[in-house]
Amino acid sequence: MLVLPAELTHEHAAASCRMLQQGLRTDPSPSVVADAASLTRFDSSALAVLLDCRREALALGKTFSVKALPPRLRVLAGLYGVAELLPAAP
């Protein structure tokens, strides 16, 4: 499981992306779940990071889903037309 930090804004996006991708590559599981439960401060960069993780997961032949995506970020994903790319984890 990939755990998102509490703060994921433009300032932290690149470092967060590197950290999450490293975790994604070392996880032998066939499915990747990004846990956003800790995410309290974010901007649209959080969507970019999640979409980048999704691309990496799919490139590795894994499935991708998101657990506990904050409602405001889910709305933002809908406005950008990418909500269906970030399915909720079961």
In terms of pTM, does the model score above 0.85? yes
Give the pLDDT confidence of 4-19 residue by residue, as tens digits: 999 999 999 999 999 9
Mean pLDDT, the chain, rounded, equals 96
Percent of the chain beyond pLDDT 90? 98
Cα(82)–Cα(80) distance, integer angstroms: 6
pLDDT of residue 86: 98
Q: Under 8 Å CB-to-CB from 54, ≥6 apart: which residues?
A: 64, 85, 86
pLDDT of residue 83: 97
Domain 2-85 is of which CATH architecture?
A: 2-Layer Sandwich (3.30)
Give the pLDDT confidence of 37-75 residue by residue, as tens digits: 999 999 999 999 999 999 999 999 999 999 999 999 999
Q: Where are the domains of the chain?
A: 2-85
